[in-house]
């Protein structure tokens, strides 16, 4: 099995990291952050300017051909700030603490991501996305609910640590 790892954002900045792990049929995206975007920006403009990660099937009407899910390591803007620009219903996994905080930010009108289908991932429990398995592990950070992720394809093991 071939699994491709692509760093989509955050290479030349502190924060804003986005990494995709892909097989022929599945894709998991670790973190979904941006560093800055004007409030009135449209996804097409942010995509063409390189502010949003190069995932046009999530931000435009282009159809995707892989089962896709996003995993958020912790609830800092540089790890989840692009969620508001999703144009398709997309499963987004985060810990209970992160989901609770995110729901409160939405309730207060500070965040809005109508296409992010938030799902809770529990530490040390597997989530299957096509032929990829993702497991969260609690980690130490300055926000509750921070995790790192292990991604496996049955032959390889990858780790995405968030900020650690």
Across 53-57, 93-97, 133-137, least confident range: 53-57
**Quick one: average pLDDT of 54-66?**
85
Write the CB contacts of 78 (distance below 8 Å, at least 6 apart in sequence). Answer: 10, 14, 15, 16, 17, 33, 34, 35
Angle, alpha carbons 157-119-140 (nearest 5°): 55
Tell me the torsion sign for CA atoms 164, 94, 31, 70.
positive
Q: What is the mean pLDDT of residues 127-140?
A: 94
3-state secondary structure of 112: coil
Measured CA to CA, the distance from residue 15 to residue 67 in angstroms comes to 26
> How confident is residue 22, by pLDDT bands cut at 50, 70 and 90?
very high
Residue 129 has pLDDT above 90, yes or no: yes
For residue 54, report the phi and psi dihedrals to the nearest 5 degrees: -70, 70
Do residues 152 and 158 lie in contact, with contact meaning Cβ atoms separated by under 8 Å?
yes
Helix intervals (H) in 91-162: 96-107
Per residue in 92-103, pLDDT (tens digit) is 999 999 999 999
Strands of 147-152's sheet in order across: 126-129, 132-138, 147-152, 157-160
Domains of the chain listed by start with CATH number:
4-160 (3.60.15.10)
Quick one: which H or E segment has residue 100?
helix 96-107
Note if the pTM is more than 0.85. yes
For residues 96 and 153, give the distance between their C-alpha atoms in angstroms, rounded to a whole number.
Answer: 25
129, 69 contact by CB (below 8 A): yes
- Smallest CA-to-CA distance from 85 within 119, 53, 109, 49 is with 53
Q: What is the rounded average pLDDT for all residues in the chain?
A: 87
């Amino acid at each position: 099995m071939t699994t491709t790892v692509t760093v989509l954002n955050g290479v030349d900045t502190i924060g804003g990291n986005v990494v995709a792990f892909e097989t022929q049929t599945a894709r998991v995206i670790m973190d979904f952050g941006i560093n800055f975007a004007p409030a009135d920006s449209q996804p097409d403009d942010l995509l063409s300017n390189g502010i949003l990660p190069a995932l046009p099937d999530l931000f435009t009407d282009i159809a995707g051909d892989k089962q896709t899910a996003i995993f958020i390591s912790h609830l800092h803007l540089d790890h989840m700030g692009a969620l508001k620009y999703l144009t398709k219903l997309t499963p987004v996994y985060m810990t209970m603490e992160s989901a609770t905080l995110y729901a409160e930010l939405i309730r207060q009108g500070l965040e809005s991501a109508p296409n992010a289908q938030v799902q809770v991932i529990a530490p040390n429990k597997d989530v299957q996305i096509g032929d990829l398995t993702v497991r969260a592990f609690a980690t130490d950070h300055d926000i509750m609910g921070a995790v790192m992720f292990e991604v496996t394809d049955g032959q390889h093991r990858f780790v995405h640590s968030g900020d650690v």
